[in-house]
Amino acid sequence: MNPPSSRSDALVNKWEGRRFLNDRLDWNLLRTYLAIGQEGSISRAAARLHVTQSAVSQALRRLEEQLGCALILRGGPRFDLTAAGEEVLRIATDIYGDVSRISTAVEKQNDGVAGKVRLLTISRVQSTLYDEFLADFHEAHPRVELEIEVLRSADIISSLLQKTATAGLGLCRIAQPKLEQRQLLRQRYAFYCGVRHRLFGRSDVTLEALRGENFVSFVSDQLGGNLSPLAMFRDENGFTGRIVASSSSFEEIHRLVCAGFGVGCLPEHLLREDVEKGLLWRLPPDEGIVDVNLHLLWNREQKMTVAEAVFLETFQHRLAQASLSEQQKS
């Protein structure tokens, strides 16, 4: 058993160590670690922070030295977070949120941020997270004017590369060197037909039976397009039917499928109500065709106004919180 003086010295040293950590821990190191954890990559974290990979690696080592523990398990280009690393990432995310709230409180005291945000988006973005973010952002920054324009994903990417908009919500199958992207939601696509189609209501339809059917298609549903995985699925499974109608608009594809022009491949979560109402019929395969990610996109080289910067930072933080929450559930 340790003598009383030894135990007392140990408690004092432990308290002194905690006080040193509280007083001296560099927020910039935590901010760098937050980027590492969210990106899952040293190189992507460096690109996001506009610094070198060496600078990010050094910041990680300094943070581990200050905390006295390993935060990541290194193994080549990819890595896993340790148990301590997961907890530090959660705390760093909370701290980032607190800092954002401080900024918001100061802005409210000064009548808030003012300016214009131009957002480009594909049609029919159905996301509770997105809706709640917009509501909260407007409440916090009522003097920010939001302009939203609906475009094709390819046009959104083109506009962002030309720096004519603040940000975009769209599909981006091939990463663009100048564009940052954060996943907003994942959409599962499946085959459907309308009430006038000969396969409507039939439970005996097989995937093989669909191979000769004609299709209604998105314009980007072609090799090289943002929805090319749909074209690849048809090609790999020997589909021989023609594309009899196409559009860049979800609403028009939906209209044409309902009218019986042909089979369409559409996002499941947008059509549940139509299936329940008997307007559309879900076709094989039961597991759907492919998952397609919808991203928040912006040009990392674009100079942002204060309003635009606050919009993007707040949106990113909301997405990071949601992502961390999903990781903890799994």
Q: Of 69, 95, 121, which residue sits at a domain end?
A: 95
| Domain contains 55 | yes
Q: Same domain for 217 and 140?
A: no
Of 13-27, 239-253, 268-282, 291-305, the one with minimum mean pLDDT is 13-27
The model's pTM: 0.63
User: Region 282-307: what's the mean pLDDT?
Assistant: 93
State whether 67 and 125 are in the same domain: no
Whether residues 279 and 304 fall in one domain: no
pLDDT tens, residue by residue, 274-286? 999 999 999 999 9
Q: What pLDDT was estimated at residue 144? A: 95
Q: Kindly list the distances between the CA atom of residue 8 and the CA atoms of 2, 3, 5, 18, 325, in Å, as whole numbers in the listed order.
A: 10, 9, 5, 15, 40
Q: Which of 44, 61, 95 is the last residue of a domain?
A: 95
| Range 177-192 average pLDDT | 92
Residue 106 lies in a domain: no
Segment of 248-252, 310-314, 324-328 carrying the highest mean pLDDT: 310-314
Q: Give the mean pLDDT of 12-37.
A: 66
* Position with higher pLDDT, 39 vs 108: 39
State residue 54's pLDDT score: 87
| pLDDT surpasses 50 at 10 | no
The better pLDDT of the pair 263, 8 is held by 263
The count of domains in the chain is 3
Does residue 103 lie within any of the structural domains? no
> What pLDDT digit, counting tens, does each position of 105-127 carry?
555 554 478 999 999 999 889 99
> Is 315 a member of any domain?
yes
User: Where does the pLDDT of residue 103 fall: very low under 50, low under 70, confident under 90, or very high at 90 and above?
Assistant: low
Are 16 and 91 contained in the same domain? yes
Does residue 102 form part of some domain? no
Q: Is residue 280 part of a domain?
A: yes
What range defines the domain where residue 166 resides? 111-177+300-329
Same domain, 198 and 286: yes
Q: Give the CATH number, domain containing residue 194.
A: 3.40.190.290
State the chain's mean pLDDT as an integer.
84
Same domain, 199 and 286: yes
My answer on whether 172 and 318 are in the same domain is yes
Tell me the pLDDT tens digit for each residue of 191-233: 999 999 999 999 999 999 999 999 999 887 665 566 777 888 8
Encode pLDDT of 43-72 as tens digits.
878 877 778 888 888 888 888 888 888 888
Let me know the angle formed at the C-alpha of 64 by 63 and 69, rounded to the nearest 5 degrees: 145
pLDDT: which is higher, 183 or 330: 183
